[in-house]
Structure 1
Amino acid sequence: MLKLEDVNTEQSLQLFHVFAKAFKSVSEHSYMSCKTQGFNPTAFAVLEVLYLKGSQPIQQIGSKLLLQSGNVTYVIDKLEQTGLLRRKHCSKDRRVIYTELTEEGKAVMDKVYPEHSKALSNALQGLNKEEKDLTIRLLKKLGMAAENITPVTVKKT
């Protein structure tokens, strides 16, 4: 007979595998959309943050995308070289550097973002509006709970 904690662990593992597989399947649509538009996913994600949120400190871009600062700086360097974004020092604190889309960057995103949105909408069409709302609420709840607990460390054998 399985103990309650064993059943809970087994269910948690199943949830993790189903979640990971679904994430991979949906992410493929995003990846292909970025590639079709001529961007790698990280560069597109940086442009998307700036397009949707406006000018952002470089450090905040990295945390929004869960990237290390060196990776963000490299991607921003490349996008700046192409003329899609620019850096701007904060007038109140010169240590803070903002990144913003150039007019060219905004024009590019005005063109490609609707197509990217359609690709993601297509990838997520397996859920209706109510199911999407419920999934959003549940995933937020799951993420916040996971952030607030200490990860279990496994001892090497």
Structure 2
Amino acid sequence: MAKTDEYDIDLSLKLFVVLTRALQSVEKQVVRDIKKHQLNLTEFAVLELLYHKGDQPIQKIGQKVLLASSSITYVIDKLEQKKWLIRKTNAEDRRVTFASLTSEGKMLMDGIFPEHSQAICRIMGGLTPKEKEEMIVQLKKLGYHAEKMV
């Protein structure tokens, strides 16, 4: 094996470890911020999706927030019990059910999201705006490359 190959392998392994640890550290801080509002990460992800994208088919929510379809029903049930969302049947296709924020859910997110956005900005504060732009480009490139390998 050529020396450059060994160097590239070592760099790739180090990048994987650093990227994983960075993600864990960031996620830990994000979860801490969300828990202040008596929500878990999954509940917040569903509420945030509905808050920004409007009504969504329940069957599609799991894909958008990276949740198994079996888990999404449980989360939707919990949020419905808390009166933060309701289920709506689609008039054109009764097999499709939408999740929709209630007025209480919208008020909750109106109160939480601006503060959460600021917390995310503080968590990402280790990078300048320019570095954030560069990181976004590089991570997308890495992600697209990994996706193509499947």
Whether these two folds match at TM > 0.5 is yes
Question: For residues 65-144 of structure 1, what are the structure 2 equivalents within 5 Å?
Answer: 65-144=65-144
The Cα shift of 1:83 comes to: 0.4
Tell me the secondary structure at the aligned position of residue 98 of structure 1: strand
Q: CA deviation at 1:2?
A: 5.1
CA shift for structure 1 position 85: 0.3
Name the structure 2 match of 1:149: 149
2: CA distance, partners of 1:65 / 1:105: 18
Q: Which runs of 5+ in 2 are unaligned?
A: none
**Can you list the C-alpha shifts for 1:19-39, whole angstroms capped at 9, x where unaligned?**
111111111111011110110
Instruction: Provide the aligned length of Structure 1 versus Structure 2.
Output: 150
Structure 1 unpaired stretches of 5+: 151-157
CA–CA distance in 2 between the matches of 1:84 and 1:148?
38
Q: 1:59 and 1:17 mapped to 2: Cα distance? A: 34
Normalised by the length of structure 1, the TM-score is: 0.90
| Mean Cα deviation higher: 105-114 or 86-95 | 86-95
Root-mean-square deviation (CA, aligned residues, Å) is 1.3
SS in 1 for 2:126: coil
Match of 1:154 in 2: none
Task: Give me the identity figure in percent.
Answer: 48
In structure 2, C-alpha distance between the alignment counterparts of 1:133 and 1:42, rounded to whole Å: 27
Match of 2:15 in 1: 15
Residues 76-119 of structure 1 show CA distances to partners (whole Å, capped at 9, x for unaligned) of: 00000110001111222211111111010000000011111111
For 2:94, give the aligned amino acid: R
2:127 aligned counterpart, secondary structure? coil
Residue 88 of structure 2 aligns to a residue in which SS? strand
CA-CA distance at 1:59 after TM superposition:
2.2
TM-score of the aligned structures, taking structure 2 as reference length: 0.94
Q: Counterparts of 1:19-98 in structure 2 under 5 Å?
A: 19-98=19-98
